């Protein structure tokens, strides 16, 4: 809460940069014929991440929290992925309100193709940076994201 006046421009650059990253990601996904959108890609990666850390498949609500979106937004994404066969909705036997999201074989295949697309997009955007600079950037982002941020509920 002290830096002079550079925060605004800094924020602008962040937004512009991410706009490029998003566009590049989208084009990579299209060019490689992977039939999913960037947001679906993010959901798939989140899903995979969850499976690695907890053994069990996540609930819709878990995904929403992790993605920092409202649960309703997850429904749409899972709808699309499920109709593409990448993911499967499985009712939870212990609590009939919850739905667990499982990764299908096709989903696993998509994930590996998708990683290439994401890396290519990242590489395209980060090209100007050396390894050291990338490391530094990574640490700064860790610091920024670590705080837990503000999940959907606002304090006002």
Partner DNA sequence: GCTCATTGTTACCTATACTCACAATGAATC
Partner DNA sequence: GATTCATTGTGAGTATAGGTAACAATGAGC
- 98 binds, options DNA, a second copy, none, Cβ within 5 to 8 A by partner type: DNA
Q: How many helices (H) and strands (E) does the chain have?
A: 6, 2
Print the binding letters for residues 14-33 with a second copy: x by CB under 8 A, - otherwise: xxxxxxxxx-xx-x---x--
Among 28, 34, 57, 59, binds DNA (CB under 7 A): 59
Cβ-based nearer residue to a second copy, 1 or 72: 1
What is the per-residue DSSP string for 20-64? HHHHHHHHHHHHTT----HHHHHHHHHHHHHHHHSSSPPBHHHHH
Q: How far apart are CA 40 and CA 32, in angstroms?
A: 15
Instruction: Look up residue 138 and give its two tokens.
Output: 């990574």
Among 34, 47, 69, 103, binds DNA (CB under 7 A): 69
- 17 binds, options DNA, a second copy, none, Cβ within 5 to 8 A by partner type: a second copy
């Amino acid at each position: 809460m002290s830096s002079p006046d550079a925060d605004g421009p800094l924020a602008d650059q962040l937004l512009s940069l991410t706009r490029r990253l998003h566009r590049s990601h989208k084009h990579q996904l299209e060019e490689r014929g992977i039939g999913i959108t960037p947001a679906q890609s993010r959901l798939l990666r989140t899903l995979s991440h969850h499976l690695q850390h907890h053994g069990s498949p996540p609930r819709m609500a878990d995904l929403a929290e992790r993605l920092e979106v409202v649960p309703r937004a997850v429904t749409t994404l899972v709808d699309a992925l499920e109709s593409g066969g990448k993911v499967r909705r499985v009712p939870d036997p212990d609590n009939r309100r919850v739905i667990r999201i499982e990764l299908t074989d096709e989903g696993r295949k998509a994930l590996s193709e998708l990683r290439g697309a994401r890396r290519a997009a990242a590489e395209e955007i980060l090209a100007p940076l050396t390894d050291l600079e990338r490391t530094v950037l990574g640490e700064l982002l860790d610091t920024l994201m670590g705080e837990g941020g503000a999940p959907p509920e606002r304090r006002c």
